[in-house]
Structure 1
Amino acid sequence: MIKLLVVEDHHLVRVGLRGILDDAPGIDVVGEAENGEQALAMTRSLKPDVILMDISLPGMSGFEISDRILRQDPEVRIIVLTAYTQPPYPARLLDMGVSGFLTKACEAEELVRAIRTVHVGGRHIGKDVAQQLAMALLPGAPRSPFQSLTPREMEVALMLADGRRVNDIASLMNVSPKTIATHKYRIYDKVGVDSEVALLREAIRHDLIEAGT
C-alpha cells in the first residue's frame, strides 16, 4: 500500500483529489495538509511514501517546503501538482530532487500512474511540462532571468520577493545571514535588479507569483 500525503490549501481541490485517490487500488491517503508547516509535521509523524504537493501555498514556498522535506526525509517522493508551470519552476524543482511534476489539468489516470511510478523510484513529468522544458532549450526561445538561478537561489529569491528579511531566511534555512546576503546579491545580479521591490516586480512580471500575494 502506498502511503500518500496531500498538501493543498484549497478545500475543494483536496475533496476532488480524495475522490480520485480513494478509488485507486493500492493508494492510501494518510493525511491532508493545508500549508508547509502542517506538511513538515505530517511528514515526520505519518511517514508517507509519496507527497502530492501544490507549490502555491500560504507561508512557505514550494521550493522551501520541498527542500526542508527532502532534507528531513531523503527517501520520500514528492510530486508537484500545480498550475504554476513557468520555466524556472519545473527545472529547478526537479534539480532539487522532486520526483514528479504535473499540472492540475492532467487526467486522473495520469495522476495515479505518476504516484505509482515515483513510488518505485521512477520519475514522471507531465506531457505539457515536458514539452515546455524542451521548448525552453530551443535556440532563440524567450528566457526568464530566473532560469539562471540555482535551486537554492530560486528558493531565496521567492522568500525575498515575499518580503522576508535576511535574518529570518537564514534561520529558516539553517545557514548564516552572511550566506543569505551573498545569495541575495547574486540573485540581484542575475535577475538585473537592485532592490527587493524590483525583484518582486520581476517575479510578478514573469508569473512566478501573483500580484497581491
Structure 2
Amino acid sequence: MIRVVLVDDHQLVRCGIRRILDEAAEIEVVAEAEDGESAMAEVRRLRPDVVLLDVHMPGVGGLEATTRLLRIDPELRIIALTVHVDEPYPSRLLGAGALGYLTKGCDEAEIIRAIHSVMHGRRYISDEIARQMALSGLDGHAANPFERLSRREVQVMLMVTEGRRLQEISDRLCLSPKTVSTYRYRLYDKLGVSNDVELTRLAIRHGLLDQAP
C-alpha cells in the first residue's frame, strides 16, 4: 500500500480528496493535517510514502513545509496540490524538492496517476502548470517580478501579505525581528514598492494571493 498524508487547512477539501483516495486500490490515507506544523508531526510519527500538500496554508506555508518535511525524511514524495498555477510557485516548490504539482481543478484519475508516478521516482506536473512554466521560460521577461526573489524572500513576502506581524514571522522562520525587517525592505527594493499594501496589491496582480484584502 502507498501510505499518504493529506495536508490542507480546509476540512472540506481534505474530505473530498480522502473520498477519492479511499476508493483507489493500493492507496491508504494514514493521516490528515491542517497546517505545516501538524504535517511535520505526522510525518515523524508515521513515516508515510507520499504527502499531498496545499501550497497556501496559515503558519508554515507549503514552500517552507516542503523543505522541513524533506529534512525529516529525504525519501518522502511530496505533491503540491494548489489553486496557484503561475510562477514562482511551481518552480519554487519543485526546486525545494516536491516531485509533483497539481491544480485543485484536476480530476480524480490525475491525482491517482500523480501518486503512482512519484512513488516510482518520476515527477508529475499537470498539463496546465507545465504549460505555464514553459511559457514563462520562453518569454524570458520580467513579467513576474517575484521570480527574482530568493526562497527566503518568498517566504517572508507570503507571510507579510497574509498580514502576519513582525514577531510572528520571526518566530515562524526562526529569524530575528531585525533580519525579518531587512528582508521586508529588500522586498520593497526588488519589487519597486514602498509598503505592505503595495506589496499585497502586486502579489494579487500576479496571482500569488487569492483575493484583495
Instruction: Indicate whether the TM-score tops 0.5.
Output: yes
**Alignment-mate amino acid for residue 209 of structure 1:** L
Distance in 2, Cα, partners of 1:119 & 1:171: 34
Structure 1 unaligned regions, length at least 5: none
User: CA–CA distance in 2 between the matches of 1:148 and 1:141?
Assistant: 11
Match of 2:74 in 1: 74
Displacement of 1:178 in angstroms is 4.5
2:146 alignment partner AA: F
Could you report, residue by residue, the CA deviation over 1:89-122 in whole angstroms, capped at 9, with x for unpaired residues?
A: 1111111111110112222222111111212322
Give a deviation string over 1:123-177, Cα, whole Å, max 9, x none. Answer: 1111110011001122376711111112222111111222334443233223444
3-state SS of paired residue (1:138) = helix
- Matched with 2:14 is 14
For 2:35, give the aligned amino acid: N
- Which amino acid is 1:137 matched to? G
Structure 2: segments with no counterpart, 5+ residues: none
Aligned to 1:153: 153
Q: Does 1:131 align with 2:119?
A: no
User: What TM-score do you get using the length of structure 2 for normalisation?
Assistant: 0.89
CA displacement 1:11-61 (0-9 Å, x = unmatched)? 332222122211222211001112223222212212111100112323332
2:38 corresponding residue in structure 1: 38
Q: Partner letter of residue 77 of structure 2?
A: R
Output the CA distance in 2 between the equivalents of 1:64 and 1:106. Answer: 24
Aligned to 1:20, what secondary structure does the other structure show? helix
| Structure 1 counterpart of 2:102 | 102
Question: Aligned equivalents of 2:212 and 2:39: distance in 1?
Answer: 24
The answer as to whether partners of 1:83 and 1:103 remain within 8 angstroms in 2 is yes
RMSD across aligned C-alpha pairs, in angstroms?
2.1
| 1:56 corresponds to 2:56 | yes
Identity of aligned residues (%): 48
